[in-house]
């Protein structure tokens, strides 16, 4: 499978990359770390270039990378973006999450 994103998320990422004048090699780095109220929390960062061992995906003109360990938990995840006042920001639709917290920022697998 792969990592994918909605049109809304892709537009937001392209805007952020343009505002920060990111190089063509830049990618959205998605990851997982221990913590959060459900066991794991999602991480987002910008990578100017992917690492040699990264899993690399491209969807809707946006390159996404993740380290191999995080990919085990993120495989099949769709990234979305919401402008909602209370729960706005990037949202993860992760088919591997057996349970997630109310805000969607953490999950258990």
pLDDT digits (tens, 9 = 90+) for 96-106: 887 665 555 55
Tell me what pLDDT residue 105 has. Answer: 53
Q: Is 86 exposed, middle or buried (0-12, 13-18, 19+ CB in 10 A)?
A: exposed
pLDDT digits (tens, 9 = 90+) for 55-96: 999 999 999 999 999 999 999 999 999 988 777 789 899 998
Q: For 28, phi and psi rounded to 5 degrees?
A: -80, 120
The domain tally of the chain equals 1
Does residue 5 contact residue 12 with C-beta atoms inside 8 Å? no
Domain that holds residue 104: 4-108
Highest mean pLDDT among 32-36, 48-52, 66-70: 66-70
Which CATH number belongs to the domain containing residue 33 in this structure? 2.60.300.12
Query: What global pTM score does this model have?
Result: 0.82
């Amino acid at each position: 499978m792969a990592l994918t994103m909605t049109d809304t998320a892709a537009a937001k990422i392209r805007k952020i990359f343009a505002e920060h004048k990111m190089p063509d090699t830049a990618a959205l780095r998605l990851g997982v770390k221990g913590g959060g109220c459900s066991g794991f929390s999602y991480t987002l960062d910008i990578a100017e270039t992917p690492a040699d061992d990264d899993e690399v995906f491209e969807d809707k003109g946006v390159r996404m990378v993740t380290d191999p360990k995080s990919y085990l938990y993120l495989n099949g995840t769709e990234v979305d973006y919401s402008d909602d006042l209370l729960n706005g920001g990037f949202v993860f639709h992760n088919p591997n999450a057996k349970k997630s917290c109310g805000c969607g920022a953490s999950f258990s697998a």
